[in-house]
Amino acid sequence: MNILVTGAAGFIGSHVAETLLARGDSVAGLDNFNAYYDPTRKRANVALLALNPRFTLHEADVRDTETMERICAEGGFDAIIHLAAMAGVRYSIERGPLYVDVNVRGTVNMLEAARKANTPHFVFASTSSVYGRTEQLPFRENDPLGKPLAPYPATKIAGEVMGHAYHNMFDLSFTAVRFFSVYGPRGRPDMMPYIITDCIVHDREFKLYEAGEMYRDWTYVADIASGVVAAADRPLGYQVFNLGRGEPVRMADFVELVEELVGKSARMTTPLAPPSEPPITYADIARACDLLDYEPTVPVAEGMRRFWEWYQLNYQ
């Protein structure tokens, strides 16, 4: 297959591209290397991918309509995996316009480029945050949405909904994959696994909301990448899938796990969680298991051991 991966220089995108290349696909990676976190990390991710002759890079912005249309027209892609986004929940709090611009307008640009180039299939990175604050556990794909807690999940709901419109109007196959708290090597420095590890290593204090009485369904990045690739392989009309592990971890236990790996104690403050943070995320993955043969295999203790190995090699 010949696949366009937007956000390929990022954390999940680099793993998705690597998985596709490893099985013999051709990958066009697209990224604007923005400075939301240190772009040196993104350049290093792409340098690994560029070792493979079946990888090509487009340094471009998904908001650039003409360029997106040209890349899709010239690329003749079998599928587009659209991961490029402003991805932080907390960072979105005072930046609604930016998130709408990149995540909504950028996604519509990609959908337009896809339909003009007759690309048959579009996979869209959505998020567990679309479920908001709900008592209904575990989260199922047909749960009601519409009460997002911050601009970030609101823009991801908008992306899913625009995907439905394009599927309906142009018969484009569209699959939204809702990721649950992804972690692993090359992990984002603004996410808790990295922050906790880095703060413990450097004896810095970090915030653990609600004294760690919150739950996150941590999902190892290689499991997510195989779910995304499975979704790219199956044009199924309009579909939405949870990609999680289905085993929420108490954040206080997560911190203990990192303390054991690093061999030092954490220094924390324990404020109340801001209103953008749901108390729990918990994926029902039955649909993905049934229709995508999705099967998360890496437990959190093993995944964090691999993350710690990567951190030590690269950042200690």
Ligand X SMILES: NC(=O)c1ccc[n+]([C@@H]2O[C@H](COP(=O)([O-])OP(=O)(O)OC[C@H]3O[C@@H](n4cnc5c(N)ncnc54)[C@H](O)[C@@H]3O)[C@@H](O)[C@H]2O)c1
Looking at the annotation, which residues are catalytic?
152
Closer residue to ligand X in complex, CB, 63/205: 63
Closest distance to ligand X from the beta carbon of 260 (Å) = 23
For residue 219, list its beta bridge partners: 182
> At its nearest, how many Å lie between ligand X and the CB of residue 156?
7
Give the DSSP H/E element, type plus range, for residue 239.
strand 238-243
Q: Report the alpha-carbon distance of residue 164 to residue 224 in Å, rounded.
A: 23
Burial class (CB in 10 A: 0-12, 13-18, 19+), 172: buried
Least distance between ligand X and beta carbon 53 (Å)? 22
24 torsion bin: left (phi>0), alpha (psi -120 to 50), beta (else): left
Residue number, 205 or 274, with CB nearest to ligand X = 274
Report CA-CA distances (Å) from 155 to 67, 109, 276, 283.
Answer: 23, 14, 14, 20
Q: Which is nearer to ligand X, 139 or 263 (CB)?
A: 139
Q: Which is nearer to ligand X, 61 or 210 (CB)?
A: 61
Q: How far is the CB of 109 from ligand X (least distance, A)?
A: 9
Indicate the Cα dihedral angle 310, 311, 314, 315, nearest 10°. 180
Give the residue with the Cβ less far from ligand X, 34 or 52.
34
Q: 94 by DSSP, 3-state: which?
A: coil
The dihedral built from the CA positions of residue 185, 189, 190 and 193, taken in this order, carries a sign that is positive
**Which residue, among 251, 179, 254, 253, has the nearest Cα to 215 in the 3D structure?**
251
What does the binding site for ligand X look like in residue numbers (CB under 6 A)? 7, 9-13, 31-34, 36, 42, 61-63, 83-87, 102, 106, 125, 127, 179, 181-182, 188
Name the region of 76 (left: φ>0; alpha: ψ -120 to 50; beta: rest). Answer: left
Q: Residue 177 forms beta bridges with which residues?
A: 125, 241
Total Cβ atoms within 10 A of residue 100? 17
Residues 6+ apart with CB under 8 A from 151: 92, 93, 95, 96, 99, 100
